[in-house]
């Protein structure tokens, strides 16, 4: 598992630029199952996690919510039967920040035990 999952988010004060395409490509190598998507002109990091039922999907959603609160960085989460879509981006800079990749790695780490 990537070392990003062990890092902490650093407060983003806004006013700093979003990551460049080169920076995004470098960081994405650490979270290869995530996709960079663009909505409303904002680059975001998204992954759909699959589960065998709604209960496991909801449990994962709650665990992602817990780490989001701990880190002070919150995703968009869509929970459905058998799947959870998690999308990270940094609202203050309207794009991707290192924190988004840290949180993606943390979500990946949570996913492994939830599939068992």
Return mean pLDDT, the chain: 93
pLDDT at residue 16, rounded to an integer = 87
Domain annotation for the chain: domains and CATH numbers: 18-114 (3.30.1360.20)
Q: Is residue 116 predicted with pLDDT exceeding 50? A: no
pLDDT at residue 2, rounded to an integer = 67
pTM of this prediction? 0.92
Helix runs in 16-78, H state only: 21-28, 54-71
Q: Which residue has the tokens 């924190």?
A: 99
**Three-state secondary structure call for residue 45:** strand
Q: For 29-41, how does the pLDDT look when each residue is reduced to its tens digit (9 = 90+)?
A: 999 999 999 999 9
Q: State the Cα–Cα distance between residues 30 and 26, nearest whole angstrom.
A: 8
Answer with the residue of higher pLDDT: 112 or 103.
103
Q: Is residue 70 predicted with pLDDT exceeding 60? A: yes
């Amino acid at each position: 598992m990537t070392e990003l999952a062990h890092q902490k988010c650093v407060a983003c004060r806004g006013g700093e630029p979003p990551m460049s395409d080169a920076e995004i490509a470098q960081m994405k190598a650490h979270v290869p199952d995530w996709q960079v998507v663009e909505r409303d002109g904002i680059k975001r990091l998204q992954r759909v996690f699959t589960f065998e039922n709604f209960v496991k999907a909801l449990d994962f959603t709650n665990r992602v919510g817990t780490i989001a609160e701990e880190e002070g960085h919150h995703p968009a989460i869509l929970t459905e039967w058998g799947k959870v879509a998690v999308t990270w981006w940094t609202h203050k800079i309207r794009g991707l920040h290192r924190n988004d990749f840290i949180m993606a790695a943390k979500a990946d780490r949570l996913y492994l035990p939830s599939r068992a």
